Amino acid sequence: MAGELNRVYVPSALEEDGRSLALGCFSSEETAWQVLRTFLKKSDQMSLKSASVVVWDVDVVGEDGVTILSTMECKDCPVCGRHTFWMDLENFSALCHGDACAAWVEESTIEPGVIDCGWPPVRFMKQTKDIEEAFAELFKVGDQINAVARTANMQKDESSKLLDEFDQRASSQD
Ligand SMILES: [Zn+2]
């Protein structure tokens, strides 16, 4: 690596009003992603529209020097409802970066065309035929959590109790 820096990886986020937030520039793609992921955990406290990681070749003039590695759009999470659900539009995948959530949707690596989705806190995972169905499944999980929260009349942040009850409900339904 001694002084030879040919490419830099640049994560950034775009606010609803079009302002771009620079997050730094990094010598490795891994670090760039780490920085971006950490930042996106707090996206429910900001009004972000999209985020991206681009790679710039050093000493190249103009657009030939830049390659977009990934662009993501921010949506409300189907499970926790926070504005922390990031969808990667090119390589279809989505993940909630919110604390204690991590709801996800991804095309199966084993069976192309199959869309997997899941919610790790209760080890929920399901295979679906398309993206709409995957979202519908996650919305169902979100509805169940809300139902549990209502009947128990608990605050949303009492999440461990909540998850226990959800577990019991989910298993009694099978
Ligand atoms: Zn979520």
Instruction: Please tell me which residue, 130 or 174, carries the higher pLDDT value.
Output: 130
Instruction: Please tell me which residue, 166 or 78, carries the higher pLDDT value.
Output: 78
The pLDDT score that the predictor gives to residue 1 is: 47
Rounded to the nearest angstrom, the distance between the alpha carbon of 139 and the centre of ligand 1 is: 10
d(CA 121, CA 2): 44
Bridge partner residues of 13 (DSSP) = 21, 51
d(CA 53, CA 25): 10
d(CA 91, CA 89): 6
Rounded to the nearest angstrom, the distance between the alpha carbon of 14 and the centre of ligand 1 is: 20
pLDDT in tens, 40-91: 998 889 999 999 999 999 999 999 999 999 999 999 999 999 999 999 977 7
Rounded to the nearest angstrom, the distance between the alpha carbon of 84 and the centre of ligand 1 is: 6
Rounded to the nearest angstrom, the distance between the alpha carbon of 24 and the centre of ligand 1 is: 26
What's the whole-number average pLDDT of the chain? Answer: 88
The pLDDT score that the predictor gives to residue 32 is: 97
- pLDDT band of residue 151 (cuts 50, 70, 90) is confident
Choice among 12-21, 93-102, 138-147, 165-174 with the minimum mean pLDDT: 165-174
Rounded to the nearest angstrom, the distance between the alpha carbon of 98 and the centre of ligand 1 is: 5
Rounded to the nearest angstrom, the distance between the alpha carbon of 157 and the centre of ligand 1 is: 13
In the predicted model, is pLDDT for residue 171 greater than 70?
A: no
In the predicted model, is pLDDT for residue 105 greater than 80?
A: yes
Rounded to the nearest angstrom, the distance between the alpha carbon of 113 and the centre of ligand 1 is: 24
The pLDDT score that the predictor gives to residue 148 is: 84
Nearest C-alpha neighbor of 142 from the set 119, 126, 159: 119
- 84 contacts 77 by C-beta, under 8 angstroms: yes
- Enumerate residues with CB within 5 Å of ligand 1 (an ion): 77, 79-80, 96, 98, 101, 103
